[in-house]
A and B are shown apart, each in its own frame.
Chain A
Amino acid sequence: MTHIDDLLLNGDSESMQAAALHAAECAECAETLAEWNDLSGTARELHESWNSDLLWPRIERSLRNERRAPASHWMQIAASIVVIAGLAAILTVAFRARTEQKRFDEAILRQAAMQKVDDAELAHVSAIAELEKMAEPKLDEAASPLMVSYKEKLVVLDDAIAECQANIQHNRQNAHLRKQLLAIYDEKQQTLKDVLQENSHVTNQ
């Protein structure tokens, strides 16, 4: 930035006088000063003012509010802290309630979940009944060690199903019991499928 640029940026009367003296000795600076004066003239032409009774009172009130700000600012911070602490407390309690709610739901099934479990059990029971019908001839002959093993596994699974069902009668919405029963039904269904798929290699024995 040149010396005349600094003076023009300062803009006070002393600087402007110094700029005029400097421009008298420097052609380039004189050109810069002339451009500046043109720009200032144009800016003055663009200036417009309005007369309003309300303008000054509004500006005054605004300045007054700004002067009061330091006191109300601290109040706002304090209020914010109180509100944030309150929010945190509410959220903590809500989170805990939500967590316990989730744990409760994991332990004791809701009606909607019960319906889903009941439906799933019915589907398993129906599928198992069909598979049992198909697998019965194979299991009845059970000549190979593998078939004997499958038969044994099915007996073990049936015992477990009976035990689960007996306990479910007195603890119907217990989620663990119901999930366990579903898992055993699933295992039984898979075992029956394995029985039906079993064929060649055991016949060599």
Chain B
Amino acid sequence: MSRINRAAFAAAALFAAVTLQARADDYTQVIEKKLTFRGGKVSIDHRFGHIEVRTHGGSSVDVKATVRASDAAIGRAISVTATEAAGGVSIVTHYPDTEHWSSHNGNMSYSVDYEIEMPASAPLMIRNRFGNVDIEGLRAAGDITNAMGKVELRNTSGRQEIENSFGSVEVRDSDGDAIIRNQNGAVTVENIKGNLDLTDRFASVRVTNADKTVKITNSNGSVEVSDVGGTTSITNSFAGVNVRNVRGTLDVSNNNGHVEVSDVTGRTSIRNSFANVTVSNVPDVTVTSQNARVSASGIKGAATITTSFGSIDLRDIGGPTRVRNENGNVTAVDIRNSLNVDTRFGLVKAEHIRGSADIDNSNGNVTLTDVDGGARVHTSFGSVFLKDVTGAIDVDNQNGAVVVGGLASGRCHDMTLKTSFSSIKVALPGGGYNVNARTSFGRISSAYPISTMNASAESIVGAINGGGCKLDLTTANGNISIEKE
């Protein structure tokens, strides 16, 4: 047998094998219809199958429906009606009442897949269940309602309204607004030039490259947003939120899920609970959190941070910084404006403050280093350590030591240091002070000579270097020590 003959025989055998593999009762029928779109919209009412829509510049609506059934009788009973009227083109799938096929022991099965080519400028309405929907090139409004299947839109313009349940939704390269409602299905949106309003539940949401407003409402699913050109608003719960590169204001409301935000050009507001918040490179930020750690860095303007039962860590803040915490440590480094901290049951540590520092604490130590303005500290049951404070110092403590040192020479500082049941120690670099030191059960000592005006076992009133700035030192049951820097 020649080589050609052998090849022909093999091909024929392959053909026979493929053909014979099909079951005798497989039923496949292709129904094709051609209609003309004269206005209105193209509507498709379908179940049990996929819908693929492509567009062209003409006015025809070309419908290709592939009917597949496990039985020819059922397949033949499935029909497709496609009509054209003033209101537009309507395509409807009709399935037989399957009660009539009870003799098939419930093994009957069928589906219809559509391939539709329609005018790009025709509005489209699709109602589908149990199948995927795939649309490309639509240049008019779309109204897509699907269930139990995937929905994909690509390269569209016009307002797109998409509703789905138990299936993912993917929108890519959309020039118009998009409204997406999903349930139990992931949503992905990429390259959208219009506004986006997205609601989902129990699944993840990912938005990339949105030019205008983005509004996302989700729950029990992660939210990831990047490169947004307008106002962004995100509400979520029980899953994380991650936002990057927003050229507008940002508002995030979450609970029981971490929040990570970076590179926002507008005001940023974050509310969260029971999970950490991390924010960086934003102009102004307000974080209201509960039972969670908050970290903020690279804030160009004001930062207002509130949390409870979690630490707060602030670095490189350009504007006024206000912190409210309960039961958590506060660390603030490189604050280029005033710092105001109100906390309880936590340590406060601040360094390199280019404005004044105002700290209210209880049951926790306070340590301030390198403060350009004045320092006011109120605490109890914790020590206060102040170093290199340029302005006036006012400490009101209870049951904790007060230590002040590292003061700049050549100028005096008004100082009021008060505690009880602990000692006070202050190191002076020089300058004149009007001293008023008082302790009930302790010793008062000074490395500088004090020209006393009034002295007793419990108090000294006098002047150092001829007097000048105020130096009020008050304690009960503790020593007072004035030292040279």
Partner-B contacts on A (CB < 8 A): 79-80, 83, 86-87, 90-91, 93-94, 97-98, 100-101, 103-104, 107-110, 145-146, 149, 153, 156-157, 160, 163-164, 167, 169-177, 180, 183-184, 187, 201-202, 204-205
Contact = CB atoms under 8 A, between A and B. Distances in A.
Contacts, number: 133
Contact of A177 (B48, B132, B183, B220): B48
Contacts of A94: 11, 14-15, 18-19
7 contacts: A83-B8, A91-B15, A100-B28, A107-B111, A160-B166, A176-B132, A201-B256
Question: Lowest 3 A-B CB distances belong to which pairs?
Answer: A173-B109, A170-B98, A94-B15
Interface in B1-46: 4-5, 7-8, 11-12, 14-15, 18-19, 21-23, 26, 28
A201 B166 contact: no
Contacts of B256: 145-146, 201-202
Secondary structure of the B contact surface, majority rule: loop
A205 to B, nearest CB: 7
B106 to A, nearest CB: 6
A97 B7 contact: no
Given A90-B15, A146-B256, A101 B22 contact: yes
Category for how many chain B residues contact A = 35 or more
Contacts of A204: 274, 291, 309
Given A90-B14, A108-B26, A202-B256, 4 more contacts: A104-B28, A108-B68, A156-B201, A172-B108
Contacts of B8: 83, 86-87, 90
Given A97-B18, A170-B98, A109 B291 contact: no
Nearest to A153: B202
A184 B130 CA distance: 13
B286 interface: no
A90 B22 contact: no
Nearest to B26: A104
B49 interface: yes
B110 interface: yes
B48 A205 contact: no
Contact of A149 (B68, B69, B166, B220): B220
B462 interface: no
Contacts of A174: 48, 109-111, 130
Contacts of B184: 153, 156-157, 160, 187
B148 interface: yes
A164 B402 CA distance: 72
Given A94-B15, A101-B21, A149-B238, A83 B4 contact: yes
B132 to A, nearest CB: 8
Contact of B109 (A98, A146, A171): A171
B48 A171 contact: yes
Contacts of A160: 148, 165-166, 184
Nearest to B109: A173
A97 B291 CA distance: 63
A184 B219 contact: no
B149 interface: yes
B160 interface: no
B7 A108 contact: no
B15 A176 contact: no
Contacts of B113: 103, 107
Contacts of B14: 90-91, 94
Contacts of A100: 28
A91 B7 CA distance: 11
Contacts of B255: 145
B111 A108 contact: yes
Contacts of B59: none
B149 A176 contact: yes
Contacts of B50: 176
Contacts of B110: 108, 171, 174
A90 B4 contact: no
A114 to B, nearest CB: 9
B258 to A, nearest CB: 11
A33 B26 CA distance: 86
A180 B130 contact: yes
Interface string B237-279: 1100000000000000001100000000000000001110000
A87 to B, nearest CB: 5
Interface in B216-246: 219-220, 237-238
A192 B175 CA distance: 40
Interface in B380-425: none
Given A173-B107, A180-B130, A164 B148 contact: yes
Contact of B274 (A153, A163, A202): A202
B202 A156 contact: yes
Contact of A176 (B111, B202, B273): B111
A153 B165 CA distance: 12
A176 B7 contact: no
A180 B132 CA distance: 11
A99 to B, nearest CB: 10
B134 to A, nearest CB: 14
B148 A87 contact: no
Report which residue of A91, A108, A202 has the largest number of chain B beta carbons within 10 angstroms of its beta carbon: A108
B364 interface: no
Interface string B112-149: 01000000000000000011100000000000000011
A201 B70 contact: no
A164 B167 CA distance: 13
B236 to A, nearest CB: 12
A28 to B, nearest CB: 55
Contacts of B274: 201-202, 204-205
B98 A171 contact: yes
A54 to B, nearest CB: 27
A90 to B, nearest CB: 4
A180 B168 CA distance: 12
Contacts of A169: 106
A173 B165 CA distance: 22
Contacts of B273: 205
A172 B131 CA distance: 15
Contacts of A171: 48, 98, 108-111
Contacts of B291: 201, 204
